[in-house]
Amino acid sequence: MPNQNPMRAILLDGFGGADRLRVGETERPLPARGQILIKVAATSVNRPDIMQREGHYAPPPGASDILGLEAAGTVELLGEQVTQWQVGDRVMALLSGGGYAEYALADAGHAMPIPPRMDFAAAACVCETYLTAYLNLFIIANLQDRHAALLHGGGGGVNTAAIQLCRQLAPNSFLIVTASSGKTARVQQLGADAVIDYQQETFAERVKQLTAQRGADIIMDHLGGAYLQDNLNCLAVGGTLLLLGVMGGGKAQLNIARVMVKRQRLIGSVLRSRAPAEKAAIIAQFSEAALPHLANGNITPLIYATYPLAEAAEAHRAMEASRHFGKIVLEVGK
């Protein structure tokens, strides 16, 4: 039976490389109680999209199996008991899936108003990366002005968001960032106090030099196993290591006694699988602390490139090449 209310979306022909992505038609979803239906103008490519495409990151139960963890657009329909939004409102929303489509569902509490001066492409860059950075650095690790923080990730979306948030919310914190040789200058310009070219030097020794041997109070890492030992070596007494990914492997040996003596905290963190109420609480805190800086232009999402929705495969290849600095956006209306 043909779809009664069709929409364009990027569909998966099995798991694997970027060639598995194709434009197709699927049924337009309808909002349940507490949900809104968004007519998507733009979404963005995030590293978990690639993991899901490869078959390594299944969506939570009940979530759309269409890729896309954030979207910006206008409210098309309201579910029952939704009172904070009206049809036609410009919103940017955190999704559990479904962003690579003309329409996407979001919990009403997972959306934020798009500031008047922000366009849809920039708004599509906010929810996944800025919320991830804010959750980890400011809610979990409680980053303060006095802290030294080591951020791995060079010009990636979460890392560039983290630098901008730190400069506005903890302007006197000391930010050390690792980056590849071609990105160090841009990272410095964005606001890092020190940049370590990980292709030229060992970051652990450099961090200790920069902090008078004290080490970093907070480390945010997405490499996992490959960086575990060096991270712990340059993590301060009582410091917090935030583990956001396993791009460098999921296993490594751990000297538990040393972690105990240094009273270090190792915290695994994922945003997507958190309960809806918990996500809503995170978004409410972010809206109060950080959204004003996006509204007045003190924080501006960095866009590396934009692609039409039909070229999602090319956008994935661009991310996999790791040449990007900032976010990769898909414009759904094009």
pLDDT tens track for 280-321: 999 999 999 999 999 999 999 999 999 999 999 999 999 999
Where are the extended beta strands (E) located within 159-230? Answer: 174-179, 194-197, 216-221
Query: What distance in Å separates the CA atoms of residue 290 and residue 203, rounded to the nearest whole number?
Result: 30
Segment (H or E) for 243: strand 235-243
Give the separation between CA 55 and CA 52, rounded to whole angstroms.
5
Q: Mention the CATH class of domain 130-268.
A: alpha beta
Pick the CATH number of 6-126+273-331 from 3.90.45.10, 3.30.70.20, 3.90.180.10, 3.40.50.300: 3.90.180.10
Which pLDDT value is given to residue 2?
56
Give the pTM: 0.94
pLDDT score for 230: 94
What pLDDT does residue 1 have?
45
Q: pLDDT (tens digit, 9 = 90+) per residue, 228-245?
A: 999 999 999 999 999 998
- For the chain, the structural domain boundaries read 6-126+273-331, 130-268
pLDDT single digits (tens) 122-161: 999 999 999 999 999 999 999 999 999 999 988 889 999 9
Extract the residue ranges of the chain whose pLDDT is less than 50. 1
